[in-house]
Amino acid sequence: MDQFAATAPPIRLTELAHGGGCGCKLAPAVLQQLLAGQAGALFPQLLVGTETSDDAAVWQLPDGTCVIATTDFFMPVVDDPHDFGRIAATNAISDVYAMGGTPILALAILGMPLGKLPIEVARDILAGGAAACAGAGIPVAGGHSIDTGEPIYGLAVVGTARPEQIRRNGDARPGDALILTKGIGVGIYANALRKNALDAAAYAEMLASTTLLNRIGATLGTEADVHAVTDVTGFGLLGHGLEMARASDVSLHIVASSVPFLSRARALAEDGFVTGASHRNWDSYGAGVKLPDGDSLTLRHLLTDAQTSGGLLVSCAADSAAELLARIRAAGYPAASIIGAVATGPTRIEVHAR
């Protein structure tokens, strides 16, 4: 199978990094230890901090406006510098959308191994990021750069929302339906790319998904029947779903046959293109997940696959789910699907085959 060549530089960006995309995240168990005890109880204006592992911080101004702040950066998930910049920027902006907000500006974060890559590569990465920001209608208003051993790029993003538009990951309600807005499998595709096993069509599919802005989140924040939202990134669908379950004190039931996947994700997983992040994710939170009896290991790998610039996981009133799903798809998210439901019970995830 021919490797997708596109306009990749002579030195492949992914060869300069020990990991790529949101698969570079620290394992969930490690992150929980690092953030323990850092809640913002002394700051009543801090409406959302680190206590429920939500997507961004939210600070309320005296006039009631909520300022949403987040940062996200990682090492290359693809070789084309412009594509890498677009993906990383789209991923960072997603945190604001996941809170129900609208981004207003971004600051660039850039680390480049200047002795290994020409300056033009850094310029192309920044241009890709600026293109994604332009698509979101925001400027890159500044930033910071350093000389590093591996290429790193991302953004710090600021957004705003009214208090009633903020959507936390901890407000899912028993009886809600669960909607996922993008297909799963980016980590597996990226691993296949690193190993020269991803063709042009699959690369185009991955790029289309990872550069699709989650702007529907700002609309969902205005919907009273939307109760909780989070974006699915490095911890996989199960990891971010488990964060929602624990923060909301509920159980999530996911129907495996309803989960949307990128078209070749299952085949590539079966061929061994599973990332180390998937194994780390399962080791961190597998005790909180019940998989279908007798199901294949492939399903576990897919549901723990580290997503880069993944979709939104939405908990909404069940009687509004079909209408909301239709509107989400019409807004440009054709893979969006109802994948399960919220129930009372232990704070865990139960995966059902059908």
Spatial separation of the C-alpha atoms in residues 178 and 159, rounded to whole Å:
25
- What's the half-sphere exposure (Cβ side, CA atoms, 13 Å) at 72? 31
With tokens 């061994």, the residue in question is 272
Find the DSSP H helices in 18-77: 28-35
Residue 10, φ and ψ in degrees, nearest 5: -55, -40
What is the rounded distance in angstroms from the CA atom of residue 134 to the CA atom of residue 48? Answer: 27
Q: What is the largest CA-CA distance in the chain?
A: 59
Judged by DSSP in three states, 342 sits in strand
Q: How far apart are CA 248 and CA 165, in angstroms?
A: 18
Percentages helix, strand, coil for the chain, rounded to the nearest 5?
40, 25, 40
In the annotation, is 22 catalytic? yes
Contact 233, 310 (CB under 8 A): yes
When computed from its CA atoms, the radius of gyration of the chain, rounded to whole angstroms, is: 19
Q: What is the DSSP string of 46-74?
A: EEE-TTTT-SSEEEE-TTSPEEEEEEEEE
**Residue whose structure tokens are 């509004």:** 320
Q: Report the alpha-carbon distance of residue 166 to residue 122 in Å, rounded.
A: 35
Catalytic residue among 22, 24, 66, 316: 22
Q: Point out the residues that are catalytic.
A: 22
